[in-house]
Amino acid sequence: MSVMSAGTEVRPSRWRASLGRLAAGTALLTAVAMLPWLSGNDPALTVLRARSADQNPTPEQLAAVREQLGLDEGPFAHLAHWLGGLPRGEAGTSWVSGEAVLPQVTGAFAVSFTLMLGALVVTIAVAALVSARTVYLGSRRRLHRGRGVIGVAVLAALPKFLLASLLATVCGVWLGWFPSSGWAGPASMVLPALALGVPSGAMIGGLLDQSLPAAFNEPWARTWHAYGYAPGRVARHALRRALAGVLPQLLPTVVALVGGAVAVEKIFNIPGLGRLALDAAIAQDLPPLQTATLALILLGVVAGLLIQALRRALLGPALRDGALPALHAPAASRGRFTRWAAVACALALLALVTTGLLRDPLHVDTAARLLPPSAAHPLGTDALGRDLLARLGHGALRTVGVALVVTAVCVLAGLLLGMAAQVGAGLTEVVSTMPAVLAGLLTTAVTGPSAWGAALAVCLVGWTPYAAQAAALLEQERASGHMLASLSFGAGPGYLLRYHLLPAVLPPVLRNALLRLPTTVLVLASLGFLGLGEQPPTAEWGRLLSENQPYVELAPWTVLGPACALVLLSVLAVSGTDAAAVRSPASVRKSRRSSGRGAQAQGGVSAGRTERRSAARRSPAA
């Protein structure tokens, strides 16, 4: 097998990826078109109530609405009629307001896209700050200790809607620096962009910070340092190598903000696409919902193609020729502070949960509403006078258990679809921009509101970050020199999967999943808050945040407890797993053996390419 053929065989054919995009987009639009009929509710009744809030319409009124909207023809006839108008620039009229849909969706998309660009700037800035220490030390060959993960875990665990409320209250209302509501100009974009970009930047920066040591450990970096190359030049090339594996995370992390920033748009009263899609879905107003979904699908496909092109430009001809060196992080010692922080987080969580389990989470005392922390109520009380420590303790098992199950399912699905690159490439681009709220509405229409229905909705869209990461890492691993060496010695698919592909993919994907664990909790909570998931009075951490978010300014302690619990959980998960990976002797020995095999294979590939170039230069003379 030649190097060129090995590099081209693993690349998914373009027509199959395009077919995957078309199939995924068609399936999503069809599911959206069937939403009113799947819900079991009369679409005419829902639309009439959204129009006039009439709770008891007459049968004649309902029949008139059905005839006006053509509901008796069924979802597929309506979908075909809507698709037929798109080539003419017509997306129909709203069932509720009667206004043309296309201007509404275009204006909302422009607002959300501008907000996404602002959040992207904040994301890049925060990611640069998170990875700045590793870049500085690694370019000078002084990266001997493990990276700090506590700050990354804290920032990544910040609830976006809670951060938005704090920024709106402090910077908007108290200090008056920026507008706290509305969309009137560039100044209106600052606070919501910060609320969206800071947690996303911590996520991207944490993944980049984990990849950089392996790039600085490559043979070329050691050689350049020995020859006295400037640290800035070494840093640029290491960033170029590490960014290729992190770039696919921008698609589900940042681009999804266009349709998934519903809570932040509501807090700042921003007329974005997420709010438009949610309001249309709740009112079962199909024309604007379908048009907004189509806009999200097109955005995901275009962004996916751009990110893929940028990633392949960063890797250069080495990806095409199968000459990428394998990335193996050096063994680094973990500082005592990180280990003690993990132990402290575990003890603090255990103390909170144990103490809370001894109290009654459902006892209502209206005379003790919104009490501050005291000896009787260590974390204070909520708006109904219920003890927050009790609710925090009783909600721990359900919160962590459901989030872990959802994360495990998403990781497994992401790995399977990431390995099936020919099918998963287009599917990932389409699904990554689908709001979890819309998925929740679709699943709730079938299963009804429940905790596991919300979990299923998150599973439907939550696998995309892991699929994008797995596909990128697998493509790089298959184009490495030691992979080609194993193929030349007759290694079968099972051997390659066990000794090459899974060891290269599993550790970074698992670290990504742990970073996203608090986000999973919050997404489940947002679905419950909208009546699509866990129902009250069940105690659950995300629901505690959602229920008490309106009282942040009056009683900040109502959200401080569950927010701190999420931060403790994130720090414990990330630091504990990272420390175990760093201190594992087996992983160190395996990394050294893989590095040796990679260097030998890379040397053989380089020698083969040199021999072919020499033969090509001699051939004209012959």
Q: What one-character-per-residue DSSP string does 185-209 give?
A: SGGGGHHHHHHHHHHHHHHHHHHHH
pLDDT of 412 reads 94
Name which residue leads in pLDDT, 159 or 461.
461
Mean pLDDT over all residues of the chain?
79
- Of 95-104, 303-312, 485-494, give the lowest mean pLDDT range: 485-494
The residue written with tokens 């919300």 in the block is: 454
Residue 474 has, within 13 A of its CA and on its CB side, a CA count of 28
- Torsion angles phi and psi, residue 377, rounded to 5: -130, 90
CA distance 199 to 500: 32
pLDDT tops 60 at residue 286: yes
Give the list of residues 6+ apart from residue 79 with CB closer than 8 angstroms, or none.
29, 30, 33, 290
**pLDDT confidence bin for 530, thresholds 50/70/90:** low
Angle between helices 14-33 and 286-315 (to 10 degrees): 160
Angle between helices 517-529 and 436-447 (to 10 degrees): 60
pLDDT of 595 reads 42
Q: Are 115 and 272 in contact (CB under 8 A)?
A: yes
**What's the distance, Cα to Cα, between the start and end of the chain in Å?**
27
Q: What is the pLDDT of residues 425-483, one digit of tens each?
A: 778 888 887 777 778 877 876 777 777 888 888 898 889 889 888 888 888 887 776 77
pLDDT tops 80 at residue 90: yes
pLDDT of 23 reads 82
pLDDT of 103 reads 92
pLDDT of 59 reads 80
CA distance 382 to 206: 34
CA distance 6 to 270: 49
Of 31, 38, 76, 119, residue with least CA distance to 434: 31
Q: Are 594 and 328 in contact (CB under 8 A)?
A: yes
Q: Is this prediction's pTM over 0.85?
A: no
- Of 90-99, 222-231, 359-368, 440-449, give the lowest mean pLDDT range: 440-449
pLDDT of 241 reads 86
Q: Are 341 and 578 in contact (CB under 8 A)?
A: no
Q: Are 360 and 583 in contact (CB under 8 A)?
A: no
DSSP 544-591: HHHHHGGGTTT-THHHHHHHHHHHHHHHHHHHHHHHHHHH-HHHHHHH
**pLDDT confidence bin for 329, thresholds 50/70/90:** low
pLDDT tops 60 at residue 551: yes
Task: Indicate the domain borders of the chain.
Answer: 14-88, 101-315, 336-580
pLDDT tops 60 at residue 622: no
pLDDT tops 80 at residue 585: no
Which CATH number is 101-315 given? 1.10.3720.10
CA distance 174 to 322: 58
> What is the rounded (10 degree) CA torsion for 613, 614, 619, 622?
180
**pLDDT confidence bin for 194, thresholds 50/70/90:** very high
Which structure tokens are listed for 103?
Answer: 């201007």
Q: Are 82 and 287 in contact (CB under 8 A)?
A: yes
Q: What sign does the CA torsion over 547, 549, 553, 559 have?
A: positive
Please count the helices (runs of H) and the strands (runs of E) in the chain.
32, 0
Mean pLDDT, range 494-523, rounded to an integer: 82
Mean pLDDT, range 364-374, rounded to an integer: 88
The residue written with tokens 């708006």 in the block is: 383
SS3 label, residue 601: helix
Q: Are 387 and 360 in contact (CB under 8 A)?
A: yes
CA distance 619 to 476: 33
CA distance 617 to 622: 10
Which structure tokens are listed for 594?
Answer: 């893989």
Architecture category of domain 336-580 in CATH: Orthogonal Bundle (1.10)
Which structure tokens are listed for 21?
Answer: 């995009």
CA distance 453 to 455: 5
- Of 106-120, 376-390, 480-494, give the lowest mean pLDDT range: 480-494
Q: What is the pLDDT of residues 592-615, one digit of tens each?
A: 444 444 444 344 434 444 434 444
pLDDT of 253 reads 75
Q: Are 461 and 434 in contact (CB under 8 A)?
A: yes
Q: Find the helix or strand (DSSP H, E) in which 467 lies.
A: helix 464-478
Q: How many CB atoms lie within 10 A of CB 44?
A: 23
Give the list of residues 6+ apart from residue 165 with CB closer than 8 angstroms, or none.
267, 549, 552, 553
Q: Are 344 and 232 in contact (CB under 8 A)?
A: no
Q: What sign does the CA torsion over 564, 513, 407, 293 have?
A: positive
Domains 101-315 and 336-580 share a fold: yes
Of 474, 499, 606, residue with least CA distance to 11: 474
